[in-house]
Amino acid sequence: MRSHRFLFLLWFTLSVSGQQKIDTTVSQVVKLMGSRFEITVVAPSTELGTIYIEEAIAEIERVEALLSSWDRNSQTSEINRQAGKHPVQVDAELFDLIERAKQISKISDGAFDISYASMDKIWKFDGSMTHAPTDEAIRESVRLIDYQDIELNKDSLTVFLKKEGMKIGFGAIGKGYAADRAKALLVSKQVKGGIINASGDLTTWGTQASGKKWFVGITNPLKKDKVFTWMPVLESSVATSGNYEKFVTFKGKRYSHIIDPRTGYPTHGISSVTIFAKKAELCDALATAVFIMGKEAGMAMIEQLPGTEAIVVDTFNKIHQTRGITFSKNP
């Protein structure tokens, strides 16, 4: 339904005063969940920081084993295998995540929908497409997508996909959720501060080793090496979705790789969406939802969600933001 790229330039400094012992910043980049994760922690020593990062990696791998639809042994794969047949009992953690995903589907009128995994892949953005799909093929591609056909039983903790062939996938929420879980683990171990950056789904806590706030630079979709604003991210999360790297063009019309699961057609009118909220999971999902809903409907939805803000760049490179956003050229 969408892809994330690393759209944030992390900015941090360390300060040293005389011989006073201070914390250090330790970072590691690793491939997890098929994506680039950068884990940064503030710790008393490099050795301890490395241990913390290893624990965060283990937690992300645990989440991946739960959510992966590629792993035949995962609960998600079992849900998909039993679609149209019978309910599948799952862990409370997975049940709750699916329940929250359905809530986001409801408020976004289906723009966000984890049953998007049922979609036939008729759009190709690898250079192999020579013409646009027919209207009939597009309609057929989304016939199994409907979050309302994901049946949840809270008493028995079961998940049932009502139609045979239905599938769920966590590509638009899973990395954000994994970042949240890794952060929660490190906070429980009294790690003073850090950043979990899951390919652009980013969450922070505490401060830099110097005591300064964490800042992220929001890049210009048309000039990806340029930052148009710096934003402080304090005990909060941020995610960006963009459409400016994967697309196809037919008869002079450009089609984005971000597909509306309700219609099967690519989205238009927006180049990037950045969401700020407490949880990376929510940022991840809402970035997709706003992109598909469009600027007016998407921004109106965000304005009604407490503690949530958005920056939208439209296809004319005009910047729109919710009321709580203040831009800064210099952190």
**Residues in CB range of 54: below 8 A, 6 or more apart:** none
Helices of type H across 189-276: none
Instruction: Give the DSSP H or E segment for 40.
Output: strand 35-43
CA dist 231 and 330 (Å) reads 9
Query: Is 40 labelled a binding residue?
Result: no
CA dihedral 129, 131, 137, 142 (to 10 degrees): 50
> Torsions phi, psi of 275, nearest 5?
-115, 135
- φ, ψ of residue 150 in degrees (nearest 5): -95, 105
**Are 209 and 14 a contacting pair, CB within 8 Å?**
yes
Element (H, E) at 291: helix 280-293
Enter the DSSP assignment of 105: H
156: how many CB neighbours lie within 10 A of its CB? 11
284 is in an annotated binding site: yes
Phi (first) and psi of residue 201, to 5 degrees: -90, 105
The reply to whether 314 sits in an annotated binding site is no
CA-wise closest residue to 198 among 186, 185, 211, 181: 181
Question: If you ran DSSP here, which 8-state letter would residue 211 be given?
Answer: S
Please give the C-alpha separations between residue 7 and each of 267, 288, 330, in angstroms, as whole numbers.
20, 15, 18
Residues contributing to the annotated binding site? 172, 284, 288
Residues contributing to the annotated binding site for Mg(2+)? 172, 284, 288
